[in-house]
């Protein structure tokens, strides 16, 4: 939000209401305790020497996916936290997707017409052919935490999508 407020012109800012502030990582906080998130700069959360899959995600799903990867000891994945959806850090996505040849987009939003579709279409333009998406079904996402959680990709769905891709 701080970056949005400091930006000239019109900026649209959305914050996932299900993300708990207590889960903020120390590396996400600058020296004075303020979130420093530059627009258009993704974060490589995991980058092994020889990755076999690129996972692009953002928001609440970043925390879920990272937890699954750590708990399941999956160490062959480039995990990209997009941080901002416009502008997108295409360079980081392209570099990783070219290294792995595979892209899995996991989003906390409805798949239909979502940002994952735009990323997938761009990846096809790059010549990438192994692309998959995982997200919420085309339904209204409930406002209650329990209902909201049921709509998002589950741990099992995430693991199955990873297994299909690798």
Instruction: Give tens-digit pLDDT for 142-166.
Output: 888 888 888 899 999 999 999 999 9
Least confident of 8-12, 32-36, 153-157: 32-36
Q: What number is the average pLDDT over the span 10-30?
A: 63
Q: Which residue has the higher pLDDT, 56 or 29?
A: 56
Half-sphere exposure of 107 toward its Cβ, with a 13 Å CA cutoff? 24
In the DSSP assignment, the letter for residue 142 is: P
Q: What distances in angstroms separate CA 15 from CA 47, 84, 98, one per listed residue?
A: 26, 11, 30
Instruction: Record the pTM.
Output: 0.84
Q: Which residue has the higher pLDDT, 152 or 35?
A: 152
- Domains, the chain, in order of start with CATH, read 39-165 (3.40.50.920)
């Amino acid at each position: 939000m701080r970056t949005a407020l400091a930006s000239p012109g019109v900026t649209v800012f959305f914050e996932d209401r299900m993300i708990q502030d207590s889960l903020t990582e120390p590396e996400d906080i600058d020296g004075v305790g303020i979130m420093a998130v530059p627009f258009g700069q993704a974060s490589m959360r995991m980058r092994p020497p020889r990755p076999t899959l690129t996972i692009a995600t953002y928001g609440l799903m970043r925390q879920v996916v990272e937890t699954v990867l750590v708990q399941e000891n999956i160490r062959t994945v480039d995990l990209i936290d997009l941080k901002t959806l416009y502008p997108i850090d295409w360079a980081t996505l392209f570099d990783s997707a070219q290294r792995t040849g595979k892209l899995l987009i996991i989003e906390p939003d409805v798949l239909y017409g979502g940002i994952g579709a735009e990323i997938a279409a761009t990846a096809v333009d790059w010549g990438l052919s192994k692309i998959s998406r995982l997200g919420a079904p085309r339904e209204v996402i409930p406002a209650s935490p329990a209902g909201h959680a049921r709509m998002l990709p589950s741990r099992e769905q995430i693991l199955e999508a990873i297994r299909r891709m690798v």
